[in-house]
Amino acid sequence: MGDGIMMNETQGHLLSRYAECMMWLARYMERTENLTRLLEVTETFVRDANGQIAWHSIVQINSDEQTFLALHPSGDADAVASFYLTEQANPASICATAHAIRENARAVRPLVSIEMWTQLNVFTRWVLDLKEKDIYQNSLSSLCTHIKQDCQAHFGVTEGTLYRDQAWLFYKLGKTLERCDQITRLVDIRYHMLLPQGEAPGSEIDITQWTAVLRSAAAYHAFRRLRPVTITPANIVGFLLKNEGFSRSLAANLRLMDETLALLASYPGLRSRCSQLQECVAELRVTLAEQTAEDIIIRGLHDYMSWIQQQLSQLQGQIASEFWPPVSAVAVQADFQMQA
């Protein structure tokens, strides 16, 4: 188990294994909240062309078709709920993610506050104790609300108690990377699922369904404050991708990622390690700023979202190669890293 070091510890630099674990702790917490919200919103709002709950859209967003069909050939609603909540054989389930969160938090125990550790310990233990029968004995909505609130409590405790050093910066990198990835997947899959066959890009589609897209991103109230009357596909795509005032938008998180890398680069000896990463993020920001939402849709929303996801995947790989050894036995990463 190597303790790769980014720089001499006497200069105050973080152990590589701590940097890796902080990044993945943030990514898994963000991923858990996003998945929980998708389950809750899909059950309540999302319908396919036949008026049925479109559970398959969650599987598509997470690129889990192969794993899901191998375990649940029928693919009904109960199967999707258990697959993503308690399925031990699914490395993408919230239960599996909770295990990864717990082990990464344990690895960085010397860095995190007592409050942060206690909250994570209670939360992950509760999730790991969930059984399939709990989904049926309690409503899916109440379970999702519980998990969401615990994730939000974690982010609040972390914001209030985690010391602002390199550990905090790698935590922020993980959180912003995950948010960028999640929002592009959501926009890509939901947009094409809602676009009726034969309709042109940008066509008007059922407002209720587009409202579900906003709720899936926790964006409904923010969007309605900005646009209290007009709901169009282009407006929603533009808001989720380009609005810097919305905390989960692609633009806002690319900006935060850029700022975080700049802070890391300010540490002695880390500038060269951050330069290529900063160039990659800058390119992403420029391509987004130079296009309107209408441009993106007309030129090919799916292609652009796929390209963004590929760039984010490469960025994660570059961060790993710059800051920690290529093979780590410390950071617990479930094998479910989503593929573009």
Contact 248, 219 (CB under 8 A): yes
- What is d(CA 336, CA 27) in angstroms, rounded to the nearest whole number? 12
What pLDDT, in 10s, does the model give residues 251-307? 999 999 999 999 999 998 899 999 999 999 999 999 999 999 999 999 999 999 999
- What is d(CA 243, CA 248) in angstroms, rounded to the nearest whole number? 9
CA atoms within 13 A on the CB side of 15: 14
Identify the pLDDT of residue 333: 60
Contact 50, 231 (CB under 8 A): no
pTM exceeding the 0.95 threshold for the entire prediction? no
Contact 104, 120 (CB under 8 A): no
Identify the pLDDT of residue 265: 96
Domain ranges of the chain: 15-163, 164-192+205-323
Identify the pLDDT of residue 53: 64
